[in-house]
């Protein structure tokens, strides 16, 4: 039998066919066309599935299951997407729809949990039972593997590590709260600190690189400024690393996990975070649990979403 993984994103849908070992045999990459609304998005998902089947010559009857990774919040148990920032729909029973239209069983999982399952079974978590996948990009997301199973919670909303409050009264987060890890250590947080630095110093490297335009400041620009030796930019990364260390220390204490696997755009510049992050971890985690954990990078890179969706499809073989 074969498995289908669908990585549903705000701009693209990446669908892949996998064998029983999870090897990706065929892919299709189509536009989501999110702005065109619900029916078009669904049509495009189905189209990407058809592409993969047509190109591979694999028959629909040979597909055991479809796994879908989608932005949330969503209910992985009922297969309903409540709402997503980048897709113009609400309360969509996506699992039911896909099952009905394809005649195949399907599973839905939020994208961070799907990515965690991908890394667990096919990436950096292969050899461990306990693992936390953390993605640091615009936001901070995560998926938590305990005894080889994903932590879903009552209705599949578990794993929201980015909104752990670690600095009460701190900067406001996109979620509306203050001082979440996401507000302290994400790409968005780094950019915010960069804009604050620009407001304070109109003549530094950050001002030069951005043409003094706050809109041009993002985490990458600050990373480049730091690499050029800008002290303020380095401090920003140190601050982000410090708070990321606190967040991870908290997770290490709570989960006694074996591996923390980092993905996401900001972690490409993790050299900049590294010293302050590791210092913060040493300072803030309980030593018993800290000694048992390994910190490493994600292995699946750009494929993590679709490989995660494949892991979701393969639940009956691999476990949750």
Token pair of 220 as six digits: 């990458």
Answer for which of 160, 230, 269, 303 binds a copy of itself (CB under 8 A) is 160
CB of 205 to a copy of itself, least distance (A): 28
Q: Report the C-alpha gap between 181 and 246 in whole angstroms.
A: 9
Among 152, 188, 234, 307, binds a copy of itself (CB under 8 A): 152
User: Of the listed pieces 38-46, 198-206, 213-221, 248-256, which binds a copy of itself according to CB under 8 A?
Assistant: 248-256
Verify binding: residue 302, a copy of itself, rule CB under 8 A: no
Q: Total number of residues binding a copy of itself (CB under 8 A)? A: 45
Instruction: Enumerate long-range contacts of 29-32, CB under 8 Å, 24 or more apart.
Output: 32/8, 32/87
Verify binding: residue 93, a copy of itself, rule CB under 8 A.
no
Residue 239 interacting with a copy of itself (CB under 8 A):
no
Q: Pick out residues in 11-50 that bind a copy of itself (CB under 8 A).
A: none
Of the residues 157, 295, 296, 318, which one makes contact with a copy of itself according to CB under 8 A: 157
Kindly tell me which residue out of 256, 265, 299, 315 binds a copy of itself, with binding defined by CB under 8 A. 256
| Binder among 56, 137, 250, 297 for a copy of itself (CB under 8 A) | 250
Residue 258 binds a copy of itself (CB under 8 A):
yes
Of residues 56 through 75, those in contact with a copy of itself by CB under 8 A are: 73
Q: Which two tokens stand for residue 227?
A: 């690499």
172 contacts a copy of itself (rule: CB under 8 A): no
User: Which of 177, 224, 227, 299 forms a contact with a copy of itself (CB under 8 A)?
Assistant: 177
Question: Considering the complex, what minimum distance in angstroms separates the CB of residue 288 from a copy of itself?
Answer: 5
Nearer to a copy of itself, 121 or 242 (CB): 242
Find the part of the chain contacting a copy of itself (CB under 8 A) among 60-68, 91-99, 107-115, 245-253: 245-253
Instruction: Dump the DSSP string for the chain.
Output: -EEEEEEE-SSEEEEEEE-TT--EEEEEEEE--GGG-HHHHHHHHHHHHHHHHHHHT--GGGEEEEEEEE-SSEETTTTEEEE-SSSS-EEE-HHHHHHHHHSS-EEEEEHHHHHHHHHHHHSTTTT-S-EEEEEESSSEEEEEEETTEE---TTS----GGG-BSSTT-SBPTTS-BSBHHHHHSHHHHHHHHHHHHHH-TTSHHHHHHTT-GGG--HHHHHHHHHTT-HHHHHHHHHHHHHHHHHHHHHHHHH--SEEEEESGGGGGHHHHHHHHHHHHHHHS-HHHHTT-EEEE-S-GGGHHHHHHHHHHTHHHH--
Q: Is residue 289 within the footprint of a copy of itself (CB under 8 A)? A: yes
* Other beta carbons less than 10 A from residue 226's beta carbon: 23
Closest approach, Cβ 275 to a copy of itself, in A, equals 17
Q: Which CB, 218 or 258, lies closer to a copy of itself?
A: 258
Binding site for a copy of itself (CB under 8 A): 73, 82, 129-130, 144, 146-147, 149, 151-161, 163-168, 175, 177, 242-243, 246, 249-251, 253-258, 283-284, 286, 288-289, 292
């Amino acid at each position: 039998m074969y498995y289908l993984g669908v990585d549903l994103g705000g701009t693209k849908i990446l669908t892949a066919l996998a064998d029983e070992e999870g090897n990706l045999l065929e892919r299709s990459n189509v536009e989501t066309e999110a702005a065109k609304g619900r029916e078009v998005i669904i049509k495009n998902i189905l189209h990407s599935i058809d592409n993969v089947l047509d190109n591979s010559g694999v028959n629909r009857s040979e597909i055991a299951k479809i796994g879908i990774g989608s932005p949330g919040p969503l209910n992985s148990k009922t297969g309903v997407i409540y709402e997503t920032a980048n897709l113009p729909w609400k309360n969509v029973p996506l699992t039911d729809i896909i099952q009905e239209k394809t005649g195949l069983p399907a599973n839905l999982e939020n994208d961070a949990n799907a990515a965690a399952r991908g890394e667990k079974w096919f990436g950096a978590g292969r050899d461990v039972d306990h693992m936390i996948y953390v993605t640091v990009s615009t936001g901070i997301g995560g998926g938590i593997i305990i005894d080889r199973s994903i932590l879903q919670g009552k209705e599949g909303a578990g794993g929201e590590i980015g909104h752990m409050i670690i600095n009460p009264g701190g900067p406001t987060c996109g979620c509306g709260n203050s001082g979440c890890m996401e507000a302290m250590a994400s790409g968005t947080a780094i950019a915010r600190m960069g804009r604050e630095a620009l407001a304070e110093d109109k003549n530094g490297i950050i001002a030069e690189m951005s043409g003094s335009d706050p809109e041009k400041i993002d985490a990458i620009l600050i990373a480049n400024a730091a690499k050029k030796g800008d002290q303020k930019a380095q401090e920003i990364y140190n601050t982000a690393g410090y708070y990321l260390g606190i967040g991870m220390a908290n997770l290490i204490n709570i989960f006694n996990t074996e591996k923390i696997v980092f993905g996401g755009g900001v972690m490409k510049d993790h050299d900049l975070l590294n010293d302050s992050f590791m210092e913060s971890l040493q300072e803030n985690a309980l030593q018993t649990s800290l000694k048992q954990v390994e910190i490493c990078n994600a292995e699946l890179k750009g494929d993590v979403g679709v490989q995660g969706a494949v892991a979701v499809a393969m639940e009956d073989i691999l476990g949750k």
